[in-house]
Amino acid sequence: MSVLISNDAELDTLLDAQEVEHICGFVLAAEGVEREIEISLSYVDEDEMHELNHEWRGIDRTTDVLSFECDSAFDEDIPADETLELGDIILAPQVIARQAPGFGNSPADECRLMLVHGMLHLLGYDHIEDDEAEVMEAREDAILRDLALERGEDPKLVHVGPITNHAHD
């Protein structure tokens, strides 16, 4: 697996590159993805995220994370020995850091959540409908708790949601 990280604006990324790569690999393993994967991750400032959210989702405000799926990790038509381009995750660390206290999270924990959220989108999860949101949120919760255990933290302190339903957009 490779994660191509871009931070042209030299923003505070909230997580170091090694942890980002670990989280991406952890999500892939948790979802049973065993093939070679490439992921693009970009950190953008609030203004650029606002523009991207407006252009791609038609929502005229900033957001914390956007995901754009390329190849499906489960597409059996793509040869198993071929590197799969899973897609792009775009994070706005300024937005993430600002909203973290409102969700009871540190900026780093909120960034972990947004990264897991973006990865799950690349793997086909969605949260438009309530039942989809519940499934996605449960996966986020389980993965983040397992990651907390790995870091030696109390998984009971992980706080996820409800945040994934976008009915209000």
For residue 132, what pLDDT is reported? 86
Binding site feature residues: 117, 121, 127
pTM: 0.93
Res. 44: pLDDT tops 60: yes
**Is the backbone of residue 36 left (phi > 0), alpha (psi -120 to 50) or beta?**
beta
Binding site feature residues for Zn(2+): 117, 121, 127
Cβ atoms within 10 Å of 119's Cβ, excluding its own: 29
Kindly report, residue by residue over 140-149, the tens digit of the pLDDT.
999 999 999 9
Q: How far is CA 43 from the centre of its chain?
A: 12
24 contacts 39 by C-beta, under 8 angstroms: yes
Amino acid at site 56: W
- Percent residues over pLDDT 90 in the chain: 76
Q: What is the mean pLDDT of the chain?
A: 91
User: 162: pLDDT confidence band, cut at 50, 70 and 90?
Assistant: low
Question: What is the CATH T-level fold of the domain 2-157, as seen in this structure?
Answer: Collagenase (Catalytic Domain) (3.40.390)
Res. 166: pLDDT tops 60: no
For residue 165, what pLDDT is reported? 47
Of the chain, the end-to-end C-alpha distance in Å amounts to: 33
